[in-house]
Amino acid sequence: MSQRQAAHPIDPQFTDRWSPRAFTGEAIAADALLGLLEAARWAPSASNIQPARFLFGHAGTPAFATILDGLVPFNQGWAGKASALVVVLSKTSSVAPGQTEAKANVWHAFDAGAAWMSLALQAHLKGYITHAMGGFDGDKLRAALNVPADVAIHAVVAVGKQGDKASLPEGLQARELPNDRLPLAQLAAEGAWSF
């Protein structure tokens, strides 16, 4: 259970979920991983266009090795013990309902973020941890995974069971704990911008 305290009443899943880096390396069943992706599929989406896409690899497979190779060395150092790696992407254009021509979808990243959060919360509810990373080589992943030019690569997510922080390099062990958030007053205001 988290020691983080919300300023207003919320479900504990929001304060209990965090992003550890220590993984056990234990395999995740295909059905379990697909269940996390199923939760992402049900995320809200502007005009129900559903631009979010996911490419994944289970540990020990060529797909996992390819995704791991696309991470920056710092992230490779700990993410290699994850049970799976999931690339979060989104289509940047779409055909709107009732239309026939594809146009830029300005909401694609917003919708992909909602899908990622659905995946993260479902993972937490099922006893898995997730850690999303921006530290990757987008060009390398795009080429290795055959990602089309009209698809944005947003993050790579490590998924698995939480391991002992002693398995991490010493410098990371001190960081292996839930962090806090800015006060709500610095993030939300009624009416005009006042930050």
Q: Which helix (H) or strand (E) holds 125?
A: helix 108-125
Q: Closest Cα to residue 55, out of 152, 123, 149?
A: 152
Q: Closest Cα to residue 40, out of 124, 108, 114?
A: 114
Q: Length of the chain, please?
A: 195
Q: Give CA–CA dist 37/114, Å, rounded.
A: 12
Q: Closest Cα to residue 126, out of 44, 31, 52?
A: 31
The structure's pTM equals 0.95
CB-based burial of residue 180 (10 Å sphere; 0-12 exposed, 13-18 middle, 19+ buried)?
exposed
Angle, helix 108-125 to helix 30-41, in steps of 10 degrees: 140
Q: Which CATH number fits domain 17-167+178-186: 3.40.1050.10, 3.40.109.10, 3.30.70.260, 3.40.50.150?
A: 3.40.109.10
| pLDDT tens, the chain, 195 aa long | 458 999 999 999 999 999 999 999 999 999 999 999 999 999 999 999 999 999 999 999 999 999 999 999 999 999 999 999 999 999 999 988 888 999 999 999 999 999 999 999 999 999 999 999 999 999 999 999 999 999 999 999 999 999 999 999 888 999 999 999 999 999 999 999 999
CB-based burial of residue 141 (10 Å sphere; 0-12 exposed, 13-18 middle, 19+ buried)?
buried
